[in-house]
A and B are shown apart, each in its own frame.
Chain A
């Protein structure tokens, strides 16, 4: 069946419906007139002829309905009628309409909110390469499986040397609010201490300068700092010559070694503004206030980890978008 006539008919039926209906009215009236005329010329009286013609014709309105139903776009037309009817009924009872609209709005809003949270936490993968290999690592006291603690710095250093399980391990502290002072004034940012390898483990890259290196905290010179792209833009006007210069953080002068690319804001809930590296060592193994993130070696599962006595408690990092 050719498409073009159909399209034309649809156009006519939907947008020029009244004219099409008037035309049909006229056609059916003409048909009835011809029928009457035929009866009259076969010898009937005018009244008789009219009665007979109407009888033969059947229901005029019914015929119109049947023609309408056979047209292209009939469904569209009735749907439009239903919509208009619905709108009229709603307009007639504003109380009911308001209640319905508010219920729907609250329902949809609540569902969306719950789903957004669910999506972020459970469905959306962490924005890092191979996120299922990333785990958070805790210390536990042997014989007390209920409590878990952070990791002390000496333990972390030992693990990093000895571990057969992790491809990479990184230690973090914070986030904590730090103040950056410039000639224009002071500004508070979220700061996080991280060890070298932290950025590489999460697949984060520096867009300016470099990331932290291995001997950062044994160098004993000016402590290095890495800026987030946002901080670099906001606090230092995206000035590329900031690399290698010192900035005032909490009253100390630190050397800016790098600026992260715009897509990296840290691994937790808080958007991090600057990252710092240790240039000191907390030698006490009982000071367990550091977080450790690890990337598992291939072929090591979290189940296997649980059987390693010193590192029984592991869980996935909480996700964020």
Chain B
């Protein structure tokens, strides 16, 4: 289909016709051939069937009566049909009855009887039919026919058909070639005409009409169109001429308008090139039209411009960018630009640049009008400058500056003032008055001042005002100057003023007054003597108490000297006449003037020392002679008095009368001494009591044991041995007979044996009692040793290695541990831990802990008794732990374990851990215990600080 589309009409038509004809013919021939073949076949089969039937019918007799010969004869007649290759007759049991084979054919195998029917096999047609006689089948007949004839016939037919087909096609070709012209010629003519018209744009050409069919109509239409085009062309030409004339006219109007305008006008095309500039524009830029037209702003030749290079560049640049913006947005741009003229004069102009719209509404360029605004600009600038100055002042000044009208309403204020009032900006105050912010207490006087100024024209200068506020904030203080505000003609139209904020000063003043009052109060009412002296130890200021004191002393001395002098006048010198006069007098005097030179020598010395070194004299206890001659004790502190720069300008000192205190102290000291003595006695008593108590217990035990032992010995059967010996001695002559015949004698050997046994038992008992005694004595030894240890008073603090101490403690218990089969494990850290502590005390504690651990293990009865000694240092403290796997400590005992007298051992004293805990505390450490309960062993930890606190 697609291939066909692009062929010329001529060929298309021919192709179509040929194709159609060809297809038709082919179809016809094919149909014929097929039909032919099927009919031929049918015919063949029918013919063969007839032959079979006839032959069969002729064979019935022979078959019935078993006369094969007859049947053979019949079959032979089939040779008439040369196509029949083979014929067989079978009887009703399927046995071959008679056979015929065409001349020249060979058969190796005689075909067996087959199913009824026919079949085409290759070039053979095989037929099997039943032979019936009187309605009953009596056998079958088989015929085989050679179809080669038929096939060859078919081929002949096809061949003939093909020839006919070709011939027909040829005829069709020529016919179509000739007849298609009827359609194709007019079409191609038309096409040619059209291409002529197109090429030459000659609309006067016409196509020739040939027929009246659709093609004819097409040609008519085509010609019509051409005619129309011609006409329209002519019209357009006319119209164009008209329009051009009109355009020229309007252009002329436009240019005359634009040229005469007192403003610069330019127009740019889409690319930004100048397409029009009026004369004013040229005058303004100092260039000629030719310099602009067709050029981009950057390209404009400025050689005769005389302007600044950079300025023209930037103008050109902005011009170009404006143009682009206008093109993009289609919006107007107004701006002010300045240009330096040919004589170097700067001119300003206001430019209005807008888009040029094409007929279709799109932006096709930009245009601009420049209006000269130089004069106006200068005036504006000057004004702005002035305004800026004022603005700067008002914005930045920290003083409150304000302009008010004749009714005292704010016209303009400084930002500082606005801030003070708490408004967002100065403009918010316009029209408001003082009454809006200040309470009447301040606002009225202020208002009256201003009105006075307006009336009289006399300014108010340097007035201190207290501003009180409506919004309940603290009062502020200002220093105000107000002056009349005059108009251009000199009239007073309002006031203006400046108020300087002096609140801070005022506050400082008040604070100062307050401080002064405090000092005065202190000096007037303090019972201590407080005084300020200058560098020469002269009094500058003194407290009232000191004043009184000095007065009293001065008076007494005066009286003393008077008595020595012997004068009898009662008149007091001026300076001693009253306290106030004395006060006046004493300022500027030194201690020497009051106390006398020797008595005050020390004072002066201390003061001078203080002044010199700058070090305070703290808490010196001085002996001061009282007015009555008695000795008084004072505790004095003198400190250097420095000025603001830090220079020493004198001293100030305090003195306290501690006479009473001293006396009390002495008494307390005595009492304390007594108390110490008593407690020592008590402590000793306590120690003695407990030793005695414990030892007493043990001694009891010893007593018992020894008594028992004595009893044992007394009651010993050994005595009996004496009787026995006596008996033997009696009969020493006839010992043998005695031993063998005498009833008593005969008992003797037996008795001896028994006795031996008894004696052995006695011995054992005796031994055990003695051993017990031994133990108890050892115990007593222990107790005494222990007490000896604890009775020692505090020892020397020395630097010791913790592990050394532990080892010492272990060594002291070594024997016991070995004896009781306790395994010892040492857990020491890598680093050496040294601490400052009292060695003996630590040892005591450790020995006690180790012993306790040993006893605990024994009590548990376990075989794997183990004691672990662990040393650690942690956080500035040494930790020594003694861990055992003995009986452990039940939870109810944990609180009591460090109590004095608490023990779980039968022979325990109960103060080992108590003393240990106390000792640990004394050393600045602690003793702690941890146990998981009964049977789970225990862990005692002694913590010691590595440094004694007072060492730090």
Partners in one complex: no
Give B residues with C-beta under 8 Å from A: none
Give A residues with C-beta under 8 Å from B: none
